[in-house]
Structure 1
Amino acid sequence: MTPIMSKTEAAGLVDAARIRGGHTWAELATAIDAPLVWATAALLGRHPLTAEQAATLCALLELDDTVAEALRQQPARIADPAIMTDPTVYRFVEAVNVYGPALKALIHEEFGDGIMSAINFTVDISRRPDPDGDRVVVTFDGKFLDYRW
């Protein structure tokens, strides 16, 4: 029996087919009827696709059933130290290091003792024109979960 392809290998094949086929992440998200950031994360191996989504994507990108099978698997959602050193990813780490304590204090002041869920959560990215250079707008939208004793 052949082992199931890793999500990392499947993600590499999806990205190669996306680039070679001239597709954007937005086109793929639309094809699988999923939000852009979630779909991109899923196609990079961080979320499982449904059987229907995987079949649709693989048909569009001309990938075989072994890729679809891998895309349906549950991921390991762990921090990869190599990814954390990427300059774009590191800017998010840097922002949380600088503003995390302030955000925590403001969440507690506004909502009480609790946290923002990263499970019941959406994230979006957009561009905002600015005379000094376009701005990247990232919106985290998580449910407040209070600590219950």
Structure 2
Amino acid sequence: MNKSLMTEKIIAAKESKGFTWETIASEVGVAPVYLASVCLGMNSIVPEKASVLAAFLGLEDDVTKALSEFPPKIWDQTVATDPLIYRFYEIAGVYGESVRQVVQEEFGDGIMSAIDFKLDIEREEDPKGDRVKIILNGKFLPYKAW
């Protein structure tokens, strides 16, 4: 089974059961954003957790196997038009260079890992309208000289 078909089956099961990513992640024992990424085919998960996930959603063994397979991590390279996803392009365009300079002043010449990485989403109540709080937490990887 390919990752696209796996994702279709997972989304159909999730919707038919009325589960949220939070509910499924709690059952599997991983973070909701990571779980969604696994289910959308951009990450893999260890076989034991894949089995728990598939069983919880009532899916067959081929889904379990596909969940554990390494993904190619290739996505459409055009700028997304979905307004929420597009905002990340906008944020990177407007603030990316500033973030890079501040990170390099604090840590030195290097990058933030997207491999040794966590991403959390929180609701922050605000009288003017609730806010979305996105926390990117990646290991600093200095560039090496040789």
Q: Same fold, TM exceeding 0.5?
A: yes
> Which residue type is aligned with residue 58 of structure 1?
A
Q: Does 1:45 align with 2:47?
A: no
CA distance in 2, matches of 1:139, 1:16: 29
Q: Does 1:128 align with 2:101?
A: no
| Contact 2:79-2:89 at 8 Å conserved across structures | no
Deviation at 1:83, TM superposition (A): 7.5
For 1:90, the equivalent position in structure 2 comes to: 86
Deviation at 1:128, TM superposition (A): 0.4
For 1:65, the equivalent position in structure 2 comes to: 61
* Match among 2, 6, 12 for residue 6 of structure 1: 2
Cα shift readout 1:20-56 (whole Å, capped 9, x = no counterpart):
0111101111111111211111111111121111111
Q: How many residues align?
A: 145
CA distance in 2, matches of 1:79, 1:21: 28
Aligned alpha-carbon RMSD (Å): 1.3
Tell me the TM-score normalized by structure 1.
Answer: 0.92
> Which residue type is aligned with residue 113 of structure 1?
D
Unaligned runs of 5+ in 2: none
**What is the aligned-residue identity percentage?**
41
Q: Does 1:78 align with 2:74?
A: yes
Which secondary structure state, in structure 1, belongs to the residue aligned with residue 62 of structure 2?
Answer: helix
Which secondary structure state, in structure 2, belongs to the residue aligned with residue 84 of structure 1?
Answer: coil
Deviation at 1:89, TM superposition (A): 0.8
Cα shift readout 1:59-108 (whole Å, capped 9, x = no counterpart):
11111111111111111112324682222111111111110000001011
> Which residue type is aligned with residue 106 of structure 2?
E
Tell me the TM-score normalized by structure 2.
Answer: 0.94
For 1:100, the equivalent position in structure 2 comes to: 96
